[in-house]
């Protein structure tokens, strides 16, 4: 066991966040009790063709999983959230034949270098890789966050849009005719995803979708 895992096990004992059963961060029964979202949200995201949101932050267990991953650095939770996102996506592509058997590129929403160094990982990237075990899409990390920004949660809608303006850059090949899915953990107004999508559209992307774990 690594030193990091040893310390995390002391601070955050391995017990189900739903029922308290030892040995799991989420047992199978409580995983099945996570609610998949069936709502449609209207967000100001003109550069995104559509946003798919798997769950809701009002689900306490789902919110606790996300918080433990992001703020307590429990990266072993990423497979749970990746599986949850995969289960949701399987329903989407079942009902949306135009998304089946397509060449899709997954782009995890990047963090600034400073934030990623502080956390030790990019939670969106971990979720994307765990999600992708069921789909085998191409994952691309050429979208970069080039500015340190304030936490979006502390800002109103207009301030959020201004805060993340011009904070992304694309260092990869031209995306002409490509279908992109941007992966993230939580969405509130959609401003950050929309700013990322703007950069991808300028670099030729045909269709851009957002796929996130929860609506905050």
pLDDT in tens, 55-71: 999 999 999 999 999 99
Domain co-membership, 26 together with 39: no
Instruction: Point out the least confidently predicted range of 46-50, 86-90, 155-159.
Output: 155-159
* Pair 26, 45 in one domain: no
pLDDT above 80: residue 151:
no
Tell whether 115 and 183 lie within a shared domain.
yes
Domain count, the chain: 2
CA end-to-end span of the chain: 34
Task: Give the C-alpha separation, 175 to 153, whole Å.
Answer: 31
Three-class SS state of 165: coil
pTM higher than 0.85 for the full model?
A: yes
Encode 109-121: b = buried (16+ Cβ within 10 Å), e = exposed.
Answer: bbbeeeeeeeeee
Specify the CATH number for the domain of residue 201. Answer: 3.40.50
Note whether 24 and 105 are same-domain residues.
Answer: no
pLDDT of residue 116: 94
DSSP state of 102: -
Clarify whether residues 97 and 146 are in a common domain: yes
Q: Which structure tokens are listed for 140?
A: 């691309």
Q: How confident is the model at residue 155 (pLDDT cuts 50, 70, 90)?
A: confident
Residues 19 and 43 reside in one and the same domain:
no
Both 195 and 108 in a single domain?
A: yes
What is the CB neighbour count within 10 angstroms for residue 129? 16
Residue 26 belongs to domain spanning: 1-33
What's the rounded Cα separation, in Å, for the pair 214 and 63? 8
């Amino acid at each position: 066991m690594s030193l990091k895992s040893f310390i995390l096990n002391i601070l955050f004992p391995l017990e189900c966040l739903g029922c308290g059963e030892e040995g799991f961060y989420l047992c199978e029964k409580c995983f099945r009790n996570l609610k998949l979202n069936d709502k449609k949200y209207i967000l100001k995201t003109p550069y995104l063709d559509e946003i798919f949101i798997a769950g809701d932050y009002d689900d306490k267990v789902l919110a606790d999983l996300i918080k433990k991953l992001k703020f307590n650095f429990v990266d072993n939770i990423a497979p749970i959230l990746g599986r949850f996102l995969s289960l949701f996506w399987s329903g989407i592509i079942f009902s949306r034949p135009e998304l089946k058997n397509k060449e899709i590129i997954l782009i995890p929403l990047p963090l600034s270098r400073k934030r990623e160094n502080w956390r030790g990982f990019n939670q969106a990237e971990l979720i994307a890789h765990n999600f992708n075990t069921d789909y085998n899409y191409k994952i691309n990390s050429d979208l970069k966050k080039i500015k340190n920004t304030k936490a979006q949660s502390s800002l109103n809608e207009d301030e959020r849009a201004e805060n993340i303006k011009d904070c992304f850059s694309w260092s990869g090949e031209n995306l002409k005719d490509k279908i992109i899915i941007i992966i993230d953990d939580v969405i509130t107004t959609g401003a950050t995803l929309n700013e990322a999508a703007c950069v991808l559209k300028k670099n030729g992307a045909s269709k851009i979708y957002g796929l996130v774990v929860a609506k905050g």
